[in-house]
Structure 1
Amino acid sequence: MANPNKAKGTMWESAVRDYLNTTLGLVDEAGTFRDVFSALNVRRPAQEGAADVGDVHAAPFILECKNVKSPAVPTFLRQANLEARNAGYPYGVAVVKVPRANVRKGRVHYSVNTWTRVRGELGVPARKFAERYAFAPSTRGLDTGKWYLTHDVEDFALLLRDMRRNLRT
């Protein structure tokens, strides 16, 4: 791959995908899908056409993965939500690499709207939801369009497991 920034981004996307598949028990010890046809497998889709469908699919989420020095989280969230719509998924989140940290410590960011919809899907009160999944708010200024909630990839895996359990019941 000739572009080093593209290579860094691809490595980060793959690391997130692999961590989630392993943590959720979707792959065996060799890293092979237990059920190659399962819609629950976390995948990196091939990009086709003008309508980007996100970097990683972890149903019901589209993950927009970023490995950058200066994160622009509100911009990343707008992109994630657009790509979720393009892919036909209900939720888009941005997953930002933390320099020199394990993938499980990457930061997963949610718009207030997405956070509220996910919380509603699980039927959990706001404070309990924030505590259970270790969310931290970012409320800079009066423009609520720039507010977001964050936790790490490790907590996202727990939330994803609970979301999937809730959707099957």
Structure 2
Amino acid sequence: MSVSLWKRYVALLVVGAVLGGTGVLLVYGREMEQMLVLNQSLKLLTEKLREENEVLRQSQRVSRKQQDVVIEEIRVVVLDPKPHPTIEVQVVRHLEKDLASLKGKKVEQVAGVHEVLHEMLRRREYVVDDEGTMAEVRVKTVAISRDLFLFVTVEMKREGT
């Protein structure tokens, strides 16, 4: 009986090993399946987020292209030789008043007519005091961006000369 008892123990050991291995494989298989499902869902989520990111980049590019740059301020710079400071202030005020209609216009529109702007301001004359003193303004340079910069010279004239 010792041989058959020994065979039973071996048989029980083999059956136990098979059942234990099967249990381990079932548990490991479930965890592996859950990890594969999680991995697949993360891949799908990553792809979705990449597509959303690309759509946002495209819309950002489009909005940058459509963004209109307008003239917000007009700045007049009087170059040397400078006139008396009060005359300089009056000339700057007159020029800013004359060009006030350009505020709010698109930079591209103003840049397209810069030759007209130069011609319009080529030899502008303003009365700067009660005695009839005239200030002749000549545009030297125009810089167009969010601010319209006019670099001008001022020459003083008496009326009738």
TM-score normalised per structure 1: 0.24
- Scaled by the length of structure 2, the TM-score of the pair is 0.25
Higher relative contact order (CA 8 A, sep 6+): 2
Higher helix share: 2
Richer in strand (by share): 2
